[in-house]
């Protein structure tokens, strides 16, 4: 790999997490979260997928883009914002606070 092909490997977490949306009780769903240091902005950013959230919370829950949720994994709790839904119905999220996983 030459210097132009070097990419910083993303760190993250994949597995079960408790998710809270608004005043709803927590639900346990599978998440896939990753992040990396962005040298241009000078900050750590993270993003990911929250699977089966509509099934867990019910179709009457507002899970539109911009909705904030709290994700608790084995290493902490963080706030994320829903940015959309992928082809498989998973909710895409961007981190708002430091991530709920450790950064190496």
Q: Show me where the domains of the chain are located.
A: 11-95
Q: 3-state class of 4 per DSSP?
A: coil
Q: Tell me if 34 sits within 8 A of 47, measured CB to CB.
A: yes
- The pTM (predicted TM-score) of the whole model is 0.86
The tens place of each residue's pLDDT in the chain, 104 residues long, gives 444 444 445 689 999 999 999 999 999 999 999 999 999 989 999 999 999 999 999 999 999 999 999 999 989 999 999 999 999 999 999 999 999 998 76
């Amino acid at each position: 790999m030459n210097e132009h092909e070097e990419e910083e490997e993303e760190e993250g977490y994949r597995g079960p997490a408790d998710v809270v949306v608004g005043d709803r009780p927590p639900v346990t769903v599978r998440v896939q979260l990753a992040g990396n240091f962005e040298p241009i902005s000078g900050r750590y950013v993270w993003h990911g997928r929250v699977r089966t959230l509509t099934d867990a919370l019910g179709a009457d829950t507002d899970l539109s883009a911009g909705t904030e949720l709290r994700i608790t994994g084995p290493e902490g709790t963080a706030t994320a914002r829903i940015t959309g839904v992928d082809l498989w119905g998973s909710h895409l999220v961007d981190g708002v606070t430091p991530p709920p996983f450790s950064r190496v």
